[in-house]
Structure 1
Amino acid sequence: MNRSQILMHASLHAASLPRPSRAPTARLSISWANSESEVREAQALRYEVFAVEMGARLASPKHAPAGLDIDLFDAYCEHLLVRTEGDDGEPGAVIGTYRVLTPAAAKRAGGLYSDTEFDLTRLRALRPRIAEIGRSCVHADHRSGSAIMALWGALAAFMARNGLDTVIGCASVSMRDGGHVAASLWRQIAAQHLAPIDCQVRPRLPLPIAHLRQDLVVEAPALIRGYLRCGAKLMGEPAWDPDFNTADLPLLLRTADLPARFRRVTG
Structure 2
Amino acid sequence: MAVLLSKGRFRARLAQSDEDLAAAQALRTRAFGTGALDADAFDPVCAHVLVEDLQDEGALVCCFRMLTMDSGAEIGRSYSAQFYDLSSLEGFSGRMVEMGRFCIHPDRTDPDILRVAWGAMTAYVDRNGIQMLFGCSSFAGTETAEYLDAFAMLKHRHLAPKRWLPRVKAPDVFRFASKLRRRPDVKKAMLRMPPLLRTYLMMGGWVSDHAVVDRHMNTLHVFTGLEIGAIPPARKRLLRAVAG
Extract unaligned runs of 5+ from structure 1: 6-25, 59-67
Distance 1:75 1:214, change over 3 A: farther
Extract unaligned runs of 5+ from structure 2: none
Query: 1:237 is matched by which residue type in structure 2?
Result: H
Aligned residues: 228
Give aligned-pair identity as a percent.
29
Which residue is 2:228 aligned to? 255
Higher relative contact order (CA 8 A, sep 6+): 1
Give the TM-score of the pair, scaled to structure 1: 0.75
RMSD, aligned CA? 3.0
- Alpha-carbon distance, 1:144 to partner: 2.8
Greater shift after overlay, 183-192 or 210-219? 210-219
The structure whose residues are more often strand, as a share, is: 2
Separation in 1 of the partners of 2:149 and 2:216?
Answer: 21
Separation in 1 of the partners of 2:180 and 2:164?
Answer: 26
Separation in 2 of the partners of 1:127 and 1:243?
Answer: 33
Question: CA-to-partner distance for each residue in 1:153-212, whole Å, 9 max, x for gaps?
Answer: 111111111111110011111235x32234542222120111210011023224234798
Secondary structure of 2:163's match?
Answer: helix
Separation in 2 of the partners of 1:31 and 1:100?
Answer: 13
Question: CA-to-partner distance for each residue in 1:138-161, whole Å, 9 max, x for gaps?
Answer: 012323321111111111111111
Query: 1:251 is matched by which residue type in structure 2?
Result: T
Which residue is 2:154 aligned to? 189
Question: Equivalent residues in 2 for 1:149-188 (5 A)?
Answer: 149-176=115-142, 178-188=143-153
Separation in 2 of the partners of 1:107 and 1:35?
Answer: 30
Separation in 2 of the partners of 1:105 and 1:124?
Answer: 8
Q: Does 1:33 align with 2:15?
A: yes
Query: 1:158 is matched by which residue type in structure 2?
Result: Y
Distance 1:120 1:209, change over 3 A: closer
Give the counterpart of 2:27 among 37, 45, 61.
45
Contact map agreement 1:181 1:214 (CA 8 A) in 2: no
